[in-house]
Amino acid sequence: MVSASHRSGARVSFADWPYPAFVAHRGAGVLAPENTLVALRTGHSFGYRMFEIDVKLSGDGVALLMHDATLDRTTDGSGRVDAQPFEALARLDAGSWHSAGFAGEGIPTLERIARWVLANDAMLNIEIKPTPGRERETGAAVALDAQAAWRDTGVPPLLSSFSAVALAAAREVAPELPRALLLSELPGDWLERCMALGCVALDARHSLLDAALIAQAHDASLRVLAWTVNDEARADELFAAGLDALITDAVDRIAASR
């Protein structure tokens, strides 16, 4: 159910946090080929209604789902993702590397995934993951695509990135879309960094988090997400410490609701 306050790009506030507590990582990127439509369908079949995806640009600026800067690990192509136009990338097989049953699965555009998410009562956490050197361009392009796809409908996607440059560019073109700063280490000025980017959330490697840190974030009106939590006991521990949401590969072991 979409609340009226989330239509027309209304801001997501601490009090009005619309997202579920369980988010499927890379779609459901272990049971199915990561960052593909079939990965999201798989997560959905296990009851997950929010999906983290990695998004970057093709050579001709199309926002698409891919974790790595190169094609080699997760497709039958090779070289940098941004060395080819999307027309060429669309012909690649992004499923066979995972298992034969997924042969022929393609690299989806963000636009295609947005349509599926909106049609299937789901939400997105779009990780802006630029290829090196394209941080600003990627942040702006992804935010504009998201703004267009969610205009007047649905719960806006949560944009996250390890790149402050990408988040700042996203903020410039679509200030109303909620942002989260991703951290793999905890710098002393993490809170200032979140505030400077106008973030609504801290999205941290789970091993960085404890009750004191989560309380500190909450005191600053920041929500807290943890990645990537694949252990049920650790999930329980983090929620007991006040965690708002976790990102997991283990959609078959960690129930999508509590």
Give the one residue of 98, 227, 244, 254 binding ligand G3P; rule: CB under 6 A. 227
What does the per-residue mask of binding to ligand G3P show for 14-53, with x meaning CB under 6 A?
-----------x--------------------------x-
Task: Tell me which of 25, 44, 98, 206 is the catalytic residue.
Answer: 25
Q: Exactly one of 34, 127, 244, 249 binds Mg ion (CB under 5 A); which one?
A: 127
3-class DSSP state for residue 183?
strand
One of 82, 105, 127, 249 touching ligand G3P (CB under 6 A):
127
Active site residue 67: yes
CB of 105 or CB of 127, closer to Mg ion:
127
12 Cβ neighbours under 8 A, 6+ residues apart: 6, 18, 156, 158, 178, 200
Sole binder of ligand G3P in the list 182, 194, 246, 256 (CB under 6 A):
182
34 near Mg ion, judged by CB under 5 A: no
For residue 61, is it left (φ>0), alpha (ψ between -120 and 50) or beta? Answer: left
The DSSP code sequence of 59-126 is: TT--EEE-SSSBSTTTSS--SBGGGS-HHHHTTS-SSTTT-GGGTTPPPPBHHHHHHHHHHTT-EEEE
Shortest CB 3 distance to Mg ion, Å? 27
Q: Give the nearest distance from C-beta 146 to ligand G3P in angstroms.
A: 15
φ, ψ dihedrals at 128, nearest 5°:
-80, 115
Q: Which residue sits closest to Mg ion, CB atoms considered?
A: 127
Minimum CB–partner distance for residue 18 and ligand G3P (Å)? 18
**Binding of Mg ion at residue 145 (CB under 5 A)?**
no
Count CA atoms closer than 13 A to 166's CA, side-chain side: 27
Q: From CA 246, how far away is CA 258, in angstroms rounded? A: 12
25 is catalytic: yes
Nearest to 127 by CA among 170, 93, 187: 170
Q: Which residues 150-179 are close enough to bind ligand G3P by CB under 6 A?
A: 160
Of residues 60 through 119, those in contact with ligand G3P by CB under 6 A are 67
Options 12-20, 51-59, 103-111, 188-196: segment touching Mg ion (CB under 5 A):
51-59
Q: Where are the alpha helices (DSSP H) in the chain?
A: 37-45, 86-89, 110-119, 135-149, 164-173, 190-196, 211-219, 232-240
Structure token pair of residue 65: 């789902």
Residues that bind ligand G3P (CB under 6 A): 25, 52, 54, 67, 127, 160, 182, 227-228, 247
